[in-house]
Structure 1
Amino acid sequence: MSSMNTPDKTTPPTVILSGPTRGLGRALLDRLVSQGFPTVGLGRDLGRIAAVARSAPAQVQLVEVDLGADSDALTDALAAVRRILSTNSSGPLAFISNASIIEPIGQATGLTCSGLERAMRINCLAPLLIANFLTKTAQAQGRPLLVLDVSSGAACRPIRGWQAYCTSKAAYKMGLDVLAAENSHIKVVHFDPGVMDTSMQDLIRAQHVEDMPEVEVFRSYREKGTLKAPFTVATELIELIERHLS
């Protein structure tokens, strides 16, 4: 982590949120809107949240992009974000790096180049490029930046069947730490939300033990009722923003 410029406490942080259409991302979007944060949503299938944007047109702006697509798509999306931020160039910035995929799941020797590449693009390369871009933008505009990495225990320990996910999340974590070490106006916070009740967990529980030997552990979370609600985790993330930037 690095120290930041002193936040402007009179202007609410502008939040850039990836993956805002479902699960934790959708819970975050709802909380951000209800609490008055200017928000830029980045992701696919934005028709799912079009009504949210229409309900608060001065507060919510959406930029459609597939983070797993080629670099040209991301470049175009970041140009749109630049235009949005240029109209509101005061107050802190916060990037909630939420979008990620767990696929492909399976033994490492059976994974394909295309599967690994897509996981790396969505979980590491695209969000790292977004964070790099926002770092330059924040510096040019003289505003602090908080990067909230919605991380995972998989970034720190190996899980059989999850080579793509573990590798991409660990690489992203290190990339952000280097970025923070190089730039004193940003702060990086890695936040592990624990195991949430989302569609990702549905996918995990549907795996065969041959592909993911620990699948029964994840099935037990549902049976024991220990899965966290996305709304609860969203509240914790909003509190982090308020603690560091408000």
Structure 2
Amino acid sequence: MIKAIVTGGSKGLGAAVVSHLINRDIEVTDVSRSGNSSLKENKLYHHKQTDMISLSDSLHFFRSWTEEQTDLTKLYLIQNAGTVQPVETVGSMDPSAIETAIKLNYTAPVAWANLAFELADQQGFELIIVNITSGAAEKPNHGWSVYGSTKAALNLFTETAALEQGDHGHTIISYSPSIMDTGMQEEIRSTNADSFAAVETFQQYKEQGKLRKPEEVGGVLVNILLEEQLKNGKLYHVNDYLPSTK
């Protein structure tokens, strides 16, 4: 049986991906703190309240969940949970916010991928991992030193893991969703310009209707996963599939 796990699947892009997978008759477990109230009555939707910052707790859940799946033939692991915080210049950041971001944006998805490879080998199911990345990984952005660097590190991890697997092992890819109308964008737009120099640009994206809907971006990802021959280690970008909003 084909199943999926989506971290951070309660809102934004994660919720959109969950909905599209369910619409394609794939059973999904949303690993998040709050769950998705609009999907809770759907028999294909399951929620596991887990704090991804606690590595021991989240890995314990993942191992237990996988060992309970007696009919699992293929697993889509969509690693979507993440944070843009701290949005602040170097020298003014809260150390605890730095630690949280590194755990959520990098440590957790790396550790989950590591365990997923191990469990897939042991239990013999096909594994497809998607690490959600960002254009912030590709260049420096004032105020985004932690967010951009954690996403860049995750990109390199994805490429390296794929290199080790080759063409006949587990599949791991990255997906860059570009700018969307989500809660994360609200956080960015409310930032002080001293902390994030491009805040006015992001405010204009909203005012000018240049933010895509998460449902549209999530639909592209699910179509890629279910309809394309995936290239191991590739960074798939939504802008290669949808008309530009800029």
The two structures share one fold, judged by TM-score above 0.5:
yes
Does residue 107 (structure 1) correspond to residue 94 (structure 2)? The answer is: no
The Cα shift of 1:24 comes to 1.1
Corresponding position of 2:39 = 52
Corresponding position of 1:3 = none
Question: Of the candidates 94, 98, 105, which is equivalent to residue 123 of structure 1?
Answer: 105
Corresponding position of 2:177 = 193
Corresponding position of 1:139 = 121
Q: TM-score, normalised by structure 2?
A: 0.86
Corresponding position of 2:52 = 67
CA distance, structure 2, for counterparts of residue 19 and residue 87 of structure 1: 25
The Cα shift of 1:194 comes to 1.1
Q: Which piece of structure 1 moves more, 35-44 or 175-184?
A: 175-184
Corresponding position of 1:156 = 138
CA distance, structure 2, for counterparts of residue 237 and residue 166 of structure 1: 21
The Cα shift of 1:140 comes to 2.0
Q: Is the 8 A contact 1:96 1:149 kept in 2?
A: yes
Does residue 218 (structure 1) correspond to residue 202 (structure 2)? The answer is: yes
Q: Is the 8 A contact 2:59 2:112 kept in 1?
A: no
The Cα shift of 1:245 comes to 6.9
- The letter of the residue matching 1:238 is V
Corresponding position of 1:6 = none
Corresponding position of 2:32 = 43
- The letter of the residue matching 1:55 is N
Does residue 23 (structure 1) correspond to residue 7 (structure 2)? The answer is: no
Over 3 Å counting, the alpha-carbon distance change for 1:139 and 1:176 in structure 2 is: same
- The letter of the residue matching 1:148 is V
Corresponding position of 1:5 = none
Indicate the RMSD between aligned Cα atoms, in angstroms: 1.8
Over 3 Å counting, the alpha-carbon distance change for 1:115 and 1:197 in structure 2 is: same
Q: After superposition, what is the alpha-carbon deviation per residue over 1:7-43, rounded to whole angstroms, capped at 9, x for unaligned?
A: xxxx5x3211110111111111122112201212211
CA distance, structure 1, for counterparts of residue 203 and residue 61 of structure 2: 37
CA distance, structure 1, for counterparts of residue 16 and residue 181 of structure 2: 12
The Cα shift of 1:188 comes to 2.2
Q: Is the 8 A contact 2:132 2:175 kept in 1?
A: yes
- The number of residues matched between the two structures is 228
The Cα shift of 1:244 comes to 4.3
Percent of aligned positions with the same letter in both sequences?
Answer: 25
Give 3-state SS (helix, strand or coil) of 1:41's partner.
Answer: strand
The Cα shift of 1:226 comes to 0.9
- The letter of the residue matching 1:16 is I
CA distance, structure 2, for counterparts of residue 34 and residue 159 of structure 1: 37
CA distance, structure 2, for counterparts of residue 81 and residue 114 of structure 1: 30
Q: Is the 8 A contact 1:132 1:179 kept in 2?
A: no
CA distance, structure 2, for counterparts of residue 200 and residue 75 of structure 1: 25
Q: TM-score, normalised by structure 1?
A: 0.86
CA distance, structure 2, for counterparts of residue 114 and residue 200 of structure 1: 19
Over 3 Å counting, the alpha-carbon distance change for 1:173 and 1:66 in structure 2 is: same
Gaps of 5+ in 1: 1-10
CA distance, structure 1, for counterparts of residue 227 and residue 31 of structure 2: 24
Q: Is the 8 A contact 2:109 2:131 kept in 1?
A: no
Q: Is the 8 A contact 1:27 1:230 kept in 2?
A: yes
Q: Is the 8 A contact 1:104 1:164 kept in 2?
A: yes
Gaps of 5+ in 2: 231-246
